Structures are given as C-alpha cells and as structure tokens.
Amino acid sequence: MPIKPVRKAVLPVAGLGTRVLPATKVTPKEMLTVFDRPAIHYVVDEARAAGIEHFVFVTGRNKAAIEDYFDSAYELEATLEAKGKTALLNQLKADLPAAGACSFVRQQAPLGLGHAVWCARDIVGDEPFAVLLPDMIMRAQTPCLAAMTKAYGKIGGNIISVEEVPMSEVSSYGIVDPGARKGELIEMKGMVEKPPVDKAPSNLMISGRYILQPEIFDALAEQTPGAGGEIQLTDAMLRLMDTSPFHALPFKGETFDTGSKTGYLRAFAAHALADPEHGAEVRQILEALLKS
Ligand code: G1P
C-alpha cells in the first residue's frame, strides 16, 4: 500500500492552563509570549517546516485570540504600510498561513486529550495526520515533526516522538514500552499514560508530537476514561497497536514544556538568549540579575 503523505495537523488548544494561573485567566496559555511571539507561533512554524498544509485547532471558550492571531490584521497592516515599516509588514504576512488553511473546531467539554483529537475527525477525514501539543516547544536543527515525517515516509504507520526523562518524572507523562531498535526508530510494544514509577516500562516519555493513522478516530470513539478520569490518546493508541504498527522516534533537540511557570520561564529565557539581535544584551541582563 502506498504511504499517504501527512498534510494536516491537529493542535489541541482547549486546555485551561490552570498550572499558569492567573496569567491564563483571560489570555489563552498558547498566546503567552515566548520572547517575541506567542508559544503557538513556534508550534505552527514547526508544522509548516514539516510540510503541513492544513491546521486544525481544537479550541474552547476564551480562545478567540488564537483565531485572530492566524488571521490578517487589516488596520495593523495598513498602518505599517503607511508608515513604511515594510520589513515588519512582510514578516507578518509571511507568518500567516494561507487563506483557508486553518480550521477551528470546539471541544465542548474538557474530557481529555483523546477527546480533543477525536473532535477533529470530520476535518481530518480518512488520511494520516499529525498532532502537536502546543505546551511543548521543540528546538532542533531538524525540527521534530520534519524528522518524524521523514521517518514516516520510509516506514508509514504511526510515529511517536519520545525522549528520556528522569524516572522521578515518569508519572507526569505517557511512557513507551520499547521493543527492538530499527535504525533511528524503536519498535513499540506498548505504552501507558502517567504510570507510577514502579509500573513504568521505561523512562521514554511521549513528548507531544504524533503521526497517526485515521483509524485512531474509531479507537477514540470507543475509548473509556483512563488516567485522571480523562479520555486519553495514549489508551486509544495502545488499542490501535493491535492492527497498525507504532514506532517511537527519539527526539534530537531541546524540549521546553511551557505548561508550568518554571518551564515557561526556561522557554522564554532560552529563546531570548538565542535571538540574533537581542541575545547578547539578554545574557548581560540575566547575569546582572543573578549577581544582584
Ligand atoms: C499529554 C499526553 C502524554 C504526554 C504529554 C506530553 O499529557 O497525554 O502522554 O506525555 O502530553 O506533554 P498532558 O500533559 O496533557 O497531561
């Protein structure tokens, strides 16, 4: 069977961001600034670098700012044009996904990540697709999803990005049961969502990037609540494993979990330090702060 390309990406953005309250009381957590752009901007850029053509945002109440962010801003553009700020204007235009390339669907109740992905089923249809969890900003020479689509192009099936975490952290994540190594990929024998340390099959965490076959929607439709009383994507993937192969791809790069206050700070500082224009000054500011 020919391997169908991955053209669509699902971005679950309905979460309330309770770990970073009060910042997220009014502003969606995905819109919190990581140096000079909202967190979601990095994740959409990563998807675009992997050749994604259509972005399906699974949103909720109070998330309208995300929809506005990926639309053109007529007044702003006209003002920049009138003031001759051409470089800024061109950058804003280049950042914008093509007309018709974004869809927004609401997850009407916070029933879990699996339920959020299932809400995208009609828009994704019968083709493989990517899922990117926007809490995780990934930085690498080859962006994470691009590395995954490359591996997928050779082997097909389902590909999950993984990375090692300290054993003390396994109960915060989905954890993979690894099988044989196949080049850069690892065959998957199983996976478990948020296991206690003594039940974790490894320290390989599911790091928030997935390429999935559309049959996952059938598994999700029947999925009963799991860890935390939520419909878990991990549980549905485990069931799909009986009929569809799963491989893990260890991520070669840095991951920033912006969903916690300190993780957000780390993401902000790292991206500020790496900025070509301001990085050196940022370093001086941080060093001075540490000395004071
Ligand atoms: C979700 C997934 C989990 C994954 C994690 C990565 O959990 O369910 O398998 O390891 O994202 O951030 P959440 O962080 O939504 O609890």
3-state secondary structure 265-290: HHHHHHHHHCCCCCHHHHHHHHHHHH
pLDDT score of 20: 87
Q: State the average pLDDT over residues 230-255.
A: 96
Q: State the average pLDDT over residues 62-83.
A: 94
Q: Where are the alpha helices (DSSP H) in 109-162?
A: 113-118, 121-124, 144-155
Ligand 1 atom having least distance to the Cα of 173: 10
User: Are the C-beta atoms of residues 170 and 227 closer than 8 Å to each other?
Assistant: no
Q: Is the dihedral of CA 15, 19, 24, 30 positive or negative?
A: negative
Residue 121's closest CA among 232, 221, 234? 221
User: Ligand 1 in contact with 133 (CB < 6 A)?
Assistant: yes
Q: How far, in Å, from the CA of 286 to the mean position of ligand 1?
A: 31
Q: State the average pLDDT over residues 88-110.
A: 94
User: Ligand 1 in contact with 132 (CB < 6 A)?
Assistant: no
Q: Report whether pLDDT(22) > 80.
A: yes
Grouping H, G, I as helix, E, B as strand and the rest as coil, residue 194 is: coil
User: Ligand 1 in contact with 165 (CB < 6 A)?
Assistant: no
User: Ligand 1 in contact with 210 (CB < 6 A)?
Assistant: no
Q: State the average pLDDT over residues 6-17.
A: 94
Residue 156's closest CA among 114, 212, 116, 222? 212
Percent of the chain surpassing pLDDT 90: 94
pLDDT score of 214: 98
Average pLDDT, the chain: 95
CA–CA gap between residue 80 and residue 74 (Å, rounded): 10
pLDDT score of 2: 84
Residue 64's closest CA among 30, 98, 94? 30
pLDDT in tens, 206-227: 999 999 999 999 999 999 999 9
User: Ligand 1 in contact with 15 (CB < 6 A)?
Assistant: no
Identify any residues that bridge with 44 across adjacent strands, giving them in sequence order.
Answer: none
Q: State the average pLDDT over residues 261-283.
A: 96
User: Ligand 1 in contact with 205 (CB < 6 A)?
Assistant: yes
Helix axes 39-49, 144-155, angle to 10 degrees: 30
pLDDT score of 19: 87
Q: Report whether pLDDT(1) > 80.
A: no
Q: How far, in Å, from the CA of 226 to the mean position of ligand 1?
A: 13
Ligand 1 atom 8 nearest Cα:
174
Q: Both ends of the chain: CA-CA distance in Å?
A: 63
Identify any residues that bridge with 212 across adjacent strands, giving them in sequence order.
Answer: 129
Strand 158-164 with 204-212, pairing:
antiparallel
Which of the four pLDDT bands, split at 50, 70 and 90, describes residue 16? confident
- Strand stretches in 145-252, DSSP E: 158-164, 174-182, 185-193, 204-212, 246-250
pLDDT score of 157: 96
Q: State the average pLDDT over residues 12-24.
A: 90
CA–CA gap between residue 43 and residue 40 (Å, rounded): 5
